[in-house]
Amino acid sequence: MASTVDAARVKEYNEEDTEGFERKLDILASMVMESKYTVFFTGAGVSTSAGVGDYRGPSGAWTMRKIKELQRKGTSRTNEEDRELRDLLIEHEKADKTAKKPVPMTDAQPTFTHMTMATLIKRSIAHYVITTNLDGIFRKAGLEGHTQLCCLHGDIYIERCTKCGYDFERNYEVRQGNSVHVHDHKVLQFNLSKISELED
């Protein structure tokens, strides 16, 4: 996946005049209000301000892998690869100065963006969130899985019973270890009669 990273895609553009930004917000608000069914589609960028790392950002996992690959080439780098490495390092250094301190995913809290989407859905102004994130922050913001939220890659805090299909929300990562894949939604099957015996 590091091959999908290049300096042009990593560069972040944060310079926007307030007037231009507010004009864009007004247009977006009008579009949402006029929409019959609004669905938000989000990814890692929504959670970076909560301290959760991304993949292709200036300090993202794949970006850092690409930097290391280019550095390992040493003197065998082409001029183009030298420019690419220099540009990636410049963007990484700029982002490093302003980046929010990384937090463990279990501690990450909903941002203004998460809460805005959740509020719009709760007020029936918007209708659904689809996210590629598996950090569980949208659930912390109050969205309900399946009826208001779809986590395309799963949610590392949700266990799904393979027998009844019920989702259990946990405050720890449920797919730890190498034996369970991130896309496996499995809960150990317990014998309910054994649990009843323990309760007696």
Active-site entry in 146, 153, 183, 185? 153
DSSP state at residue 31:
H
58: tokens are 């200036």
Q: Tell me whether strands 158-160 and 149-151 are parallel, antiparallel or unpaired.
A: unpaired
C-alpha closest to that of 11 among 106, 74, 114, 93 = 93
- Separation of alpha carbons 149 and 135, rounded Å: 13
- Separation of alpha carbons 66 and 6, rounded Å: 8
Exposed, middle or buried: residue 17 (CB in 10 Å: 0-12, 13-18, 19+)?
exposed
DSSP state at residue 89:
H
Whether 92 sits among the annotated catalytic residues: the reply is: no
Q: Please list the active-site residues.
A: 153
